[in-house]
Amino acid sequence: MSTKPSPHLSPLPLSFPFTEIPKTGAHQQVANEVYWCRHQLPFALDHINTWLLQDHDKWVIVDTGVSDERSQDGWKRILDDGLGGSEISKIIVTHYHPDHIGNADWLSNRTNTSVWMSPTEFLTAHAVFEGAATHTTRAVGKLFQAHGLPDEEIGNVAAKGDHYKELVRSLPTSFLRITNGEKLDICGRPWQAIVGSGHSPEHLALFCEKEHVLISGDMLLPKISTNVAVWPHSDKSNPLKEFLTSIDLFQDLPVDTLVLPSHGLPFVGMHSRIQELKMHHEERLNTLLSICDEPRNAFQVLPTLFERTLDAYQTFFAMGEAIAHLNFLWWEGELTRQESDRGNGVIHFIKN
Ligand SMILES: [Zn+2]
């Protein structure tokens, strides 16, 4: 990245320049030739932000919402009324999660436009859709069982992740590849791809150096911390390390960059937010380490990591997060991973 913040510029505190939220079917300007749309979600996250970039007399869509009637009605109003039926030049998807890719195929067919994304996200979307490569309730159940989730809770909790096909009715069968560092020319302005991982395998963020605007996807959110979880196909992986390394990639961007996140309000002050997130994870890791004098499994540490009572849906995400934090400390050499083949075979972690 060529634009580095000058050393005398300290991080800006978090501020939210746009507090008026666009209504469903509307689009609201947030920067030169950049517009904000919002779609409701049928789960706790409540909404997703999507973005429209003017591309001469056409438009680029970034992210698409889940494929339900409500979201598609919103898109019809945006495309037909808001944009007056203008052509779409690209549909860009930041990652494979249903709220981002859900309408990509529908929009692609409706507008006769190609979908642009990173290859691992494209292939992961298809694997999850087809239940391939351990993207199954059964495999998730086995993983959670190995990390201490009681047998009577496994079926209910593991099934909470099995809604992909309800939220993504169809997927594009072809795509155009975006690679890390690539600059997409949109309306004469380069938008640089910044690829990260930890939340998803090859998550795409886009930075416009000319306007100091970052479309951060789920990698940098203003209020909630991004879900970072271990899944069955890579049960010994270290996604928390990947996530923390990935958000460091944003450190080189200018301090006054306007961040356009997938959830919450657009904000300025990304360097302060990165610091907050790092401290948040560091505190959780320290707390976790302090209770691992005795062997602990992921299920046993949930009350330490999550103070609130968790329902089955929250437990689904919390288990993946807890394993991610334990794996981080294991990879750092702070914990030993005890894969006992005695008794119930539950994996425990103990401080070195
Ligand atoms: Zn996501």
**Residue 76 banded pLDDT, cuts 50, 70, 90:** very high
- pLDDT given at position 251: 95
Structure tokens at 70: 């409500």
Give per-residue pLDDT as tens, 270-284: 999 999 999 999 999
Rounded to an integer, what distance in angstroms lies between the CA atom of residue 97 and that of residue 90?
19
The burial of 316, by beta-carbon neighbours within 10 Å (0-12 exposed, 13-18 middle, 19 or more buried), is given as buried
Distance 96 CA to ligand 1 centre (A): 7
- pLDDT given at position 152: 87
- pLDDT given at position 310: 86
Distance 62 CA to ligand 1 centre (A): 14
Distance 95 CA to ligand 1 centre (A): 7
- pLDDT given at position 240: 98
Distance 200 CA to ligand 1 centre (A): 7
Q: Pick the closest to residue 181 from 191, 167, 192, 197 (CA basis).
A: 192
Q: Is the dihedral of CA 11, 49, 239, 294 positive or negative?
A: positive
Distance 317 CA to ligand 1 centre (A): 12
Distance 193 CA to ligand 1 centre (A): 17
Distance 213 CA to ligand 1 centre (A): 20
Distance 343 CA to ligand 1 centre (A): 37
Distance 167 CA to ligand 1 centre (A): 13
User: Helix, strand, coil proportions of the chain in percent (round to 5)?
Assistant: 35, 20, 40
Distance 283 CA to ligand 1 centre (A): 23
Distance 97 CA to ligand 1 centre (A): 5
Distance 8 CA to ligand 1 centre (A): 34
**pLDDT, average across residues 282-294:** 94
Rounded to an integer, what distance in angstroms lies between the CA atom of residue 257 and that of residue 155?
44
pLDDT of residue 343 exceeding 80: no
**pLDDT, average across residues 238-242:** 98
Distance 26 CA to ligand 1 centre (A): 23
Distance 218 CA to ligand 1 centre (A): 5
The CATH architecture assigned to 28-270 reads 4-Layer Sandwich (3.60)
Rounded to an integer, what distance in angstroms lies between the CA atom of residue 8 and that of residue 18?
27
Give per-residue pLDDT as tens, 95-154: 999 999 999 999 999 999 999 999 999 999 999 999 888 888 889 989 999 999 988 888
- pLDDT given at position 7: 45
Distance 121 CA to ligand 1 centre (A): 11
Distance 230 CA to ligand 1 centre (A): 14
Stretch among 183-197, 203-217, 261-275, 310-324 having the lowest mean pLDDT: 310-324
Distance 202 CA to ligand 1 centre (A): 11
Give per-residue pLDDT as tens, 154-198: 888 777 777 899 999 999 999 999 999 999 999 999 999 999 999
Answer with the residue of higher pLDDT: 157 or 264.
264
User: Which CA distances in Å does 255 have to 222, 247, 248, 327?
Assistant: 15, 14, 13, 32
Distance 351 CA to ligand 1 centre (A): 32
Distance 84 CA to ligand 1 centre (A): 30
**Residue 341 banded pLDDT, cuts 50, 70, 90:** low
Q: Where in the chain are the domains?
A: 28-270
pLDDT of residue 316 exceeding 80: yes
